[in-house]
Chain A
Amino acid sequence: MKKINIMFFGIILICLTLFIISFELEKDSSSGESDKTVNIFNWGDYIDPKLITKFEKQTGYKVSYETFDSNEAMYTKIKQGGTAYDIAIPSDYTIKKMIDNHLLLPIDHSKLKGLGNIDSKFLNLPFDPGNKYSLPYFWGTLGIIYNDKYVKASEVKHWDDLWNPRFKNSIMLIDGAREVMGLTLNSQGKSVNDTNVKDLQAAYEKLKKLSPNVKAILADEIKVYMAQDEAPLAVSYSGEAMEMMDNNKHLHYIIPEEGSNIWFDNMVIPRTAKNIKGAYAFLNFMLEPKNAAQNAEYVAYATPNKAAKKMLPKSMQDDKVMYPTNKTISHLEVYDALSQKNLSKYNDLFLQFKMH
C-alpha cells in the first residue's frame, strides 16, 4: 500500500510540475511579448530558414514558426483559434472558404511596400478578387512526371496517355480527390470544377479503367520513390517534380496541354492575429524581390514576384517546369471551393475508385 501511495503522489507531483512549467511558458509567449513575436503558420519546408533569421535581425521581432501538412488541418486549427497566428499560407480554394467563413482580416494595401513587384497575372484572381485578403507567395501546376529510361517523351503528351495498356501497374497517383477526379474530367474535355452529377459519374466510370495501371496512391512519398526508379510514371505537383528531378536526371515533367490545375499559395492574416504590425512587417519583407528570390531558390517553387524572378539564376528562369509559357497557363484552371455536398461527392467517388 505504501508503495502505491508513493507512486500515486509521485505521478500527481510530476503532473503538477509540468502544468506549472507549461503555464509559465504560455504566460511568456502570450502576454508579455505578444507585440514582439510574429506567429507564422506555413507548409513544411516552405521557407528558407535563413530568411527567418534575417527577418528577426532586420525588424527586431521574434518569429515563432509552425508547420502544417494539409489545408484542411490548417483550416481546422485556425477556426478553433488555439494559437493566435499572425500569418498563414493557405491555398486558393481554402482562402475562398476562409473568406466566406470570416476567418481572415482584410489587408490594407496602403501599408504594403512593393506590391507592384508581383506579376499582375497572379493578382485579382477569382478566389480573392482585388487581393483584399491575400498576397501571392508561390504558385505551381499539376502534371505528369515520367522516367525516360522506361517511357518515351512521345508516349506522354495527354492525360489520356495514362490509360495506355502498356503502362500496366506503373503509375503513382497523388492521394487527392480533387487532383485525380480533376485530371479525369480534363481528359474528357470538362472543367476541374465540374459538379454536374452525370459528368462526375462518367469521370468515375473512366477512372475505374485506370485501376490496372495504378501502382499506388501516395502523398509525399512519391518524391522518394520516383527518385529511386520505383515507378516509371507519376502524377504530382511541379514543385515536387523539381525536387525529384534534382535527384534523378532521367525524370521529366509535362503539363498536358488540354488542361490541368494551377494553384496558388497566398499569405493571409487570420482573424485571430494579435500582432498585426508584425504581420505587415513580414508581408513587406517577403514582397522584397531579394528575399522572394532567395526563398524561390531554396524552396524551388515558382515565385509570383516578377522582380524576384529576374534575380534567379538563368537556368531557373527559363525552366518550363517551374514557369510554363503563357499559352500553357491559359489552359490551366484554379480549383474552386466546393460546397460540402459536392466535396463529399468527389471524395466518395475517389474512395470507390481506390477500392478497385
Chain B
Amino acid sequence: MKAKGLYFSSYVLWLLLFVLAPVALILYQSFIGINGNFTITNYENFFKIGAYLRMTFNSVFYAGLITLITLLISYPTAYFLTRTKYKQLWLMLIILPTWINILLKAYAFIGIFSQAGPVNNSLEWLGLGSHQLLFTNTSFMLVAAYIELPFMILPIFNAIDELDESLVNVSRDLGANKFQTFWNVTFPLTLNGIKSGVQVVFIPSLSLFMLTRLIGGNKVITLGTAIEENFLVTQDWGMGSTIGVILIAAMILIMFLTGEKKRRGR
C-alpha cells in the first residue's frame, strides 16, 4: 500500500500549495494597512463605509436572482431531458458551450444586444421598435444566467436520472396524482442535486466582475469589481484581500446552509 501513500502525499502537497497557502496569504494581507502596518482598519472600513455594505447586498441580491432564474429554467429542462431518447447527446449539447471561454461569450452578447444587433433588428421587424438592451440589469442577469445554466442542469439531471422509477410508480398506484407525486416523491429525492447546483451557481455569481463591465456597463457593482479595483487601480492589496476574506466567509456560510445534513438524526 505504499502507492496509496504516494497519491495521498501528492494530493496533500497540492492542497497545501494551491488551496491553503493562497487563502492564508489573503488572510494575512487583509490585515495590512495602506502604510504596510499590521492593523484591522480594513475590516473597520468595510463595515463603516456604506458603499461596501451596499455592494455586499447587491452581490448577494444579484447572485440570488441569477441562481433563481437558472434553477427555474434548469429543473424542468433536466426533468424532460431524462425522459428523452438520446439523453446523453442532449446533455452533451448543453455542456458544449462551457468549453468556450466566458469572455468570448460575453463579447458575443455585446454584438447580439447592441443597437444594430439581431435582437433589436427582430424587434423592429415585429414593429416593437429598438430598445436599449445593453447596460441594463436585465441583460446582465440574462447573460450571467446563460453562462451558469449548464452548471445547474448537470447536478439536477444526475439526481433525477438516478431516481428509482418504481418509487414514482408506487406513488401513482397508491392514488397520488401527478402533482402530489412530484411534490412528495420526486422533488425531495432530487433535493441534493438542487443543493449542489445552487452552490455551484451562487458562489461564483457572488464575484462576477468582467460581465458587470462588459454587459452591465458598470451599472451593477459587485464585490468582484471592488476587489479588481483595489488590486489593480488603487493598489491597496490589504483592502482587496479583506473583501476576499469576507467573500470566502460568505461562501463557507452558503456551503454550510446548503450542505447535506446526513449525520444528524442517524
Asked if B132 lies at the interface with its beta carbon under 8 angstroms from chain A, I say: yes
Inside 8 A of A348's CB, which chain B residues have their CB? Answer: 49, 51
Contact B134 A230 (CB under 8 A): yes
Asked if A124 lies at the interface with its beta carbon under 8 angstroms from chain B, I say: no
Contact A218 B213 (CB under 8 A): yes
Q: Which of A187-236 contact B (CB under 8 A)?
A: 214-219, 221, 224-225, 228-230
Top 5 A-B pairs, shortest CB-CB distance: A216-B217, A217-B218, A216-B135, A347-B234, A352-B51
- A5-B3, A230-B134, A347-B229 as given contacts; A219 in contact with B213, CB under 8 Å: yes
- A8-B7, A218-B218, A221-B110 as given contacts; A351 in contact with B134, CB under 8 Å: no
Inside 8 A of A354's CB, which chain B residues have their CB? Answer: 218-219, 221, 225
Asked if A266 lies at the interface with its beta carbon under 8 angstroms from chain B, I say: no
Inside 8 A of B132's CB, which chain A residues have their CB? Answer: 169, 215
Contact A230 B218 (CB under 8 A): no
Asked if A70 lies at the interface with its beta carbon under 8 angstroms from chain B, I say: yes
Contact A351 B236 (CB under 8 A): no
Asked if B123 lies at the interface with its beta carbon under 8 angstroms from chain A, I say: no
Contact A177 B116 (CB under 8 A): no
- A216-B134, A230-B115 as given contacts; A175 in contact with B213, CB under 8 Å: yes
Q: How far is the CA of A217 from the CA of B239 in the complex (A)?
A: 23
Q: How far is the CA of A348 from the CA of B236 in the complex (A)?
A: 11
Q: How far is the CA of A152 from the CA of B106 in the complex (A)?
A: 34
Contact B115 A229 (CB under 8 A): yes
- How near does chain B come to A28, taking the closest CB pair, in angstroms? 28
Inside 8 A of A224's CB, which chain B residues have their CB? Answer: 110
- How near does chain B come to A170, taking the closest CB pair, in angstroms? 10
Q: How far is the CA of A215 from the CA of B219 in the complex (A)?
A: 8
- Chain B positions 161 through 183: 1 when the CB is less than 8 Å from some CB of chain A, otherwise 0: 00000000000000000000000
Inside 8 A of B49's CB, which chain A residues have their CB? Answer: 348
Binding site for A on B (CB under 8 A): 3, 7, 34-35, 49, 51, 54-55, 58, 110, 114-116, 132, 134-135, 213-214, 217-219, 221, 225-226, 229-230, 232-236, 239
Binds B, one of A257-265, A271-279, A337-345: A337-345
Asked if A72 lies at the interface with its beta carbon under 8 angstroms from chain B, I say: yes
- Nearest chain B residue, comparing its CB with the CB of A4: B7
- Please classify the interface of chain A as helix (H, G, I), strand (E, B), loop, or mixed, using the class held by over half of its residues: helix
Q: How far is the CA of A229 from the CA of B117 in the complex (A)?
A: 12
Q: How far is the CA of A172 from the CA of B115 in the complex (A)?
A: 15
Contact B235 A175 (CB under 8 A): no
Asked if A355 lies at the interface with its beta carbon under 8 angstroms from chain B, I say: yes
Inside 8 A of B214's CB, which chain A residues have their CB? Answer: 221
Binding site for B on A (CB under 8 A): 1, 4-5, 8, 70, 72-73, 76, 169, 172, 175-177, 214-219, 221, 224-225, 228-230, 340-341, 343-344, 347-348, 351-352, 354-355
Instruction: Jot down 18 A-B pairs with beta carbons below 8 A, ordered by A.
Output: A4-B7, A8-B7, A72-B232, A76-B235, A175-B213, A215-B217, A216-B134, A216-B219, A218-B217, A229-B115, A230-B114, A347-B229, A347-B230, A347-B234, A348-B49, A351-B51, A351-B221, A355-B54
- Nearest chain A residue, comparing its CB with the CB of B218: A217
- How near does chain B come to A151, taking the closest CB pair, in angstroms? 16
Inside 8 A of A72's CB, which chain B residues have their CB? Answer: 232-233, 235
Contact A217 B51 (CB under 8 A): no
Q: How far is the CA of A347 from the CA of B134 in the complex (A)?
A: 25
- Nearest chain B residue, comparing its CB with the CB of A12: B10
Q: How far is the CA of A219 from the CA of B209 in the complex (A)?
A: 14
- How near does chain A come to B74, taking the closest CB pair, in angstroms? 30
Inside 8 A of B134's CB, which chain A residues have their CB? Answer: 216, 230
Inside 8 A of A229's CB, which chain B residues have their CB? Answer: 115-116
Inside 8 A of A4's CB, which chain B residues have their CB? Answer: 7
Contact A228 B115 (CB under 8 A): yes
- How near does chain B come to A181, taking the closest CB pair, in angstroms? 12
User: B218 touches which one: A177, A216, A343 (CB < 8 A)?
Assistant: A216
- Beyond A76-B235, A230-B114, 19 extra complex contacts between A and B, CB < 8 Å: A1-B3, A4-B7, A72-B232, A72-B235, A176-B233, A215-B217, A216-B219, A217-B219, A229-B115, A230-B134, A340-B235, A343-B234, A344-B234, A348-B49, A348-B51, A354-B219, A354-B225, A355-B54, A355-B221
Q: How far is the CA of A340 from the CA of B237 in the complex (A)?
A: 11
- How near does chain B come to A70, taking the closest CB pair, in angstroms? 6
Q: How far is the CA of A217 from the CA of B51 in the complex (A)?
A: 18
- Nearest chain A residue, comparing its CB with the CB of B33: A340
Q: How far is the CA of A221 from the CA of B116 in the complex (A)?
A: 16
Inside 8 A of B213's CB, which chain A residues have their CB? Answer: 175, 217-219
Contact A355 B110 (CB under 8 A): no
- Nearest chain A residue, comparing its CB with the CB of B52: A351
Q: How far is the CA of A351 from the CA of B53 in the complex (A)?
A: 13
- How near does chain B come to A24, taking the closest CB pair, in angstroms? 25
Q: How far is the CA of A176 from the CA of B218 in the complex (A)?
A: 12
- How near does chain B come to A223, taking the closest CB pair, in angstroms? 12
Inside 8 A of A340's CB, which chain B residues have their CB? Answer: 34-35, 235-236
- Nearest chain A residue, comparing its CB with the CB of B36: A340
Q: How far is the CA of A85 from the CA of B122 in the complex (A)?
A: 51
Q: How far is the CA of A169 from the CA of B134 in the complex (A)?
A: 12
Inside 8 A of B116's CB, which chain A residues have their CB? Answer: 228-229
Q: How far is the CA of A214 from the CA of B235 in the complex (A)?
A: 26
Q: How far is the CA of A72 from the CA of B51 in the complex (A)?
A: 24
Inside 8 A of A73's CB, which chain B residues have their CB? Answer: 232
- Nearest chain A residue, comparing its CB with the CB of B115: A230
- How near does chain A come to B39, taking the closest CB pair, in angstroms? 14
